[in-house]
Homo-oligomer: A and B are copies of this chain.
Amino acid sequence: MAGSTLGIIYRITTWGESHGAGLGVVVDGCPAGLPLTVNDIQSYLDRRKPGQSRISTPRKEADAVEILSGVFEEKTTGTPISLLIRNTSQRSGDYTEIAACYRPGHADYTFDQKYGFRDYRGGGRSSGRETIGRVAAGAIAAKALSEFGIRLTAYTKSIGPISIDPAAFDPAAIRETPTSMPDRDASARAEKYLSDCMSNYDSAGGVIECVIDGVPAGLGDPVFEKLDANLAKAVMSVGAVKAVEIGDGIGVSTRNGSSNNDPFRIEDGKIVKAANHAGGILGGISDGSQIVLRAHIKPTPSIFSPQDTVNRQNEEVRISIKGRHDPVIVPRAVVVVESMAAITLLDALLVNAGARMDRLKTIYKN
């Protein structure tokens, strides 16, 4: 198991290297009868495309998706949906240096230790291009969730020291700013900050937040398959993520029970919560409130400043990484985090379909 499959019922399997023939994903377990077109998937992939702004690598990649199976007359058939994205823009390049030595902050060393050797061209399987399969599968999951009234919104919450102002939250800005920030002013300042980083041959990190509305209470399972546990795994599995928070996250450790508990109350005859410190999940199960999570992203490890490292011959060397690299991963990772959340949530929804005898009897009438 090289760990390329995720999910119990909505089960995705990704494959591909940055400089191989292409990348893709097989989505198994998508319910039959979901309307689906290439555009539904392409529009998600376009959100992670490079070359769209000054703060993104100037590489141009079409990243055009082809649906190879599982869709018939623009509806999912219930059988596996295979998606293929050909690599087109990969420079033949000179990888002698990367092949020979270990870039700090990258997986070169650990792949060599694990497998004995590695596909060193552009990071191979550990490249950021690996996320293409995730986003393609996430697009389908998000489409399915939308049919149940569930909507996901991810955005950049901060880049380096620049955070958005919640009071200035403008959803339209997410897709219009190069930073994916829902605050145009903060975005402008973040762009300035990134320009400075680039001038210093350096890179920056940041925080992505994802909120999910319309989730019915009851998704997620007790103990190991808690909804928050699976969200944490899904999001932490994205390269460069070093911390995951649910709801108030790290804030809870310095709070008291009296201020952290969310009181229940009645609104329009229904049970709701008067606060949402828990981020929509209690005991690992969705509580009907908005789900809130955050991912902390490390600075791009590929920087142009010279760095100390070693080579495969156990010699200390100094390298300067060349090529085309994003000064910050965050804006392009927004759609990746949103996709991982969608994949996790749809799987929880499908698993939960078998949780109660009374609901099963509505499906299987005898």
Contact = CB atoms under 8 A, between A and B. Distances in A.
Contacts of A281: 110
**A82, A253, A270, most chain B CB atoms within 10 A:** A253
Nearest to A312: B271
A71 B115 CA distance: 12
A352 interface: yes
Contacts of A32: 114-117, 355-357
A260 B124 contact: no
Given A33-B357, A69-B20, A80-B15, A255 B2 contact: no
B113 A225 contact: no
B358 A33 contact: yes
Contacts of A355: 2, 31-32, 78, 114-115
Interface string A1-37: 1111111111101111100111110101111111000
A113 B288 contact: yes
Interface in A335-352: 349-352
Interface string A284-310: 111110000000111111110101111
Contact of A69 (B15, B116, B117, B286): B15
A63 B23 CA distance: 21
Given A298-B252, A308-B264, A364-B216, A4 B16 contact: no
Contacts of A244: 232, 236, 243-244
A274 B197 contact: no
Contact of A364 (B16, B20, B148, B252): B148
A320 interface: no
Contacts of A315: 266
A209 to B, nearest CB: 12
B203 A256 contact: yes
Q: How many copies does the complex hold?
A: 4
A171 interface: no
A310 to B, nearest CB: 4
Contact of A202 (B3, B29, B110, B258): B258
A222 B255 contact: no
B226 A31 contact: no
A198 to B, nearest CB: 11
A77 interface: yes
Interface in A215-249: 216-226, 228-237, 239, 242-249
Rank and list the top 8 A-B pairs by shortest CB-CB distance, nearest first. A107-B283, A3-B225, A3-B221, A149-B366, A233-B233, A203-B257, A110-B285, A350-B354
Given A1-B11, A257-B299, 8 more contacts: A13-B13, A205-B252, A214-B366, A223-B237, A229-B236, A239-B284, A258-B303, A359-B363
12 contacts: A1-B9, A17-B70, A21-B69, A31-B360, A32-B117, A72-B119, A104-B264, A107-B282, A125-B223, A206-B253, A242-B250, A243-B252
